[in-house]
Amino acid sequence: MTMAVIAEAESRARRSMNRTEYERFLPLVRRTAMRLARRVPATITVADLVGYGWVGLMEAYHRAANMPEEEFEAYALYRVRGAMLDYLRSLDPATRDLRKASKRVAHSIRGLSQKLGREPEEEEIAESMGMQLRGYRELLEKIAAAGMARLELLDLDDVEVESAGETIDDTVAKRRLADAVAIAMDTLPPKLLQVLALYYQEGCTLRQIGAVLGVGESRVSQLHTEAIHRLRAAVGKE
């Protein structure tokens, strides 16, 4: 879908709805886009998601505008969110494959941790995925390059549509996640913990971290990505 088509969808929304209706649903579309944007690679913008949200809203408006107000708002959210998810799922197949690979890495780490009763070694993770160590490290770099080395990233196929009201308190959810991550941090190998500390607490670049560890930027990227996936596995975000 081109940007022109997306812009036309919002234009149609303005024409089809009265001002009160338009202003009523504008926050819903933007809020939904912003919530999803926090869970996808940074290359996907809020504006992209908002545009597709308008497409979904107009589909809802034309199909069920005569619904009772509360029912329509819930249906509209369903269509808005659905349109955004359809867009995300239609992205480059390579991106979809890397998202699946990211989930597989975390799943392998979690499975090995439970089986071994300890944090698995890098070689063990690679072997469990049927890969050579070099191939596993290269996969970590590809995942990082796609913007998927982020703890909060969720697999979009598992995202459920929420009701029109805020059924999940974002602040509480973030606090619980932070607590879980803090506990999981204690299980990380020292080198991975050092990479996270230098990157997030000290604000060091990959090059600077590499200088500290005596390795190249690509290796730091691999270590960072593995650390994030170990944390995701530990807190159940696989």
* Dist CA 147 CA 157 (whole Å): 18
Whether the predicted pLDDT of 169 surpasses 60: no
Distance CA 182, CA 113 (A): 18
CA distances in angstroms from 237 to 58, 109, 203, 211, listed in the order given:
33, 12, 25, 31
Q: Which residue has the tokens 């996808």?
A: 40
Arithmetic mean of pLDDT, 118-123? 94
Quick check: 89 pLDDT over 80? no
3-state secondary structure of 175: helix
Q: Which two tokens stand for residue 70?
A: 């509360």
Q: Is the dihedral of CA 170, 48, 102, 192 positive or negative?
A: negative
Q: Is 155 helix (H, G, I), strand (E, B) or coil?
A: coil
Q: In the structure, what pLDDT confidence band is assigned to residue 6 with cuts at 50, 70 and 90?
A: low
Closest of 214, 20, 191 to residue 119, by C-alpha = 191
Measure the CA–CA gap between 179 and 64, rounded to whole angstroms.
Answer: 42
Q: How far, in Å, CA of 144 to CA of 142, rounded?
A: 5
**Residue 155: CB atoms within 10 Å:** 14
Q: Which domains does the chain have, with CATH numbers?
A: 3-89 (1.10.1740.10), 93-234 (1.20.140)
The whole-number average pLDDT for the span 176-192 is 78
Closest CA to 72 of 60, 81, 89: 60
- Mean pLDDT along residues 91-117: 87
* Greater pLDDT, 144 or 7: 144
The Cα–Cα gap between 116 and 106 comes to 15
Q: Quote the CA–CA distance of 45 and 88 in Å, as a whole number.
A: 11
SS3 of residue 68 by DSSP: coil
Rg (CA), the chain: 21
Q: What is the pLDDT of residue 159?
A: 42
pLDDT band at 229 (very low <50, low <70, confident <90, very high): very high
pTM score above 0.75: no
Tokens of 151: 């703890």
CA-based nearest residue to 151, from 223, 210, 221, 230: 230
